[in-house]
A = this chain, B = another copy of it.
């Protein structure tokens, strides 16, 4: 998956952190823990997944849609940065 191979370590770090959050939610549920704590962790975990998503989308746009090998024009690169700015604003 090209762009994510390059940034694979960073993405793996993110998903491992998300996995830790999910395991924490499971433990709290199993221990019949506090409802609010679960809600907070679920919200944080969803935010982390969105962050992962945004990072993969960035790589996908730059490497697979724009594709450096195809020598994108300045206008295409600019349009691509604009899209990513909107995606980040929408998915924050």
Which A residues contact B (CB, under 8 angstroms)?
Answer: 1-5, 8, 11-12, 15-16, 18-19, 22-23, 25-26, 29-30, 32-36, 38-40, 42-43, 45-46, 49-50, 52-53, 56-57, 59-61, 64-67, 70, 72-73, 75-76, 79-80, 82-83, 86-87, 89-92
Contact = CB atoms under 8 A, between A and B. Distances in A.
A25 B49 CA distance: 11
A76 B67 CA distance: 7
Contact of A70 (B32, B35, B46, B73): B73
Q: How many copies does the complex hold?
A: 4
Nearest to A24: B15
A38 B67 CA distance: 19
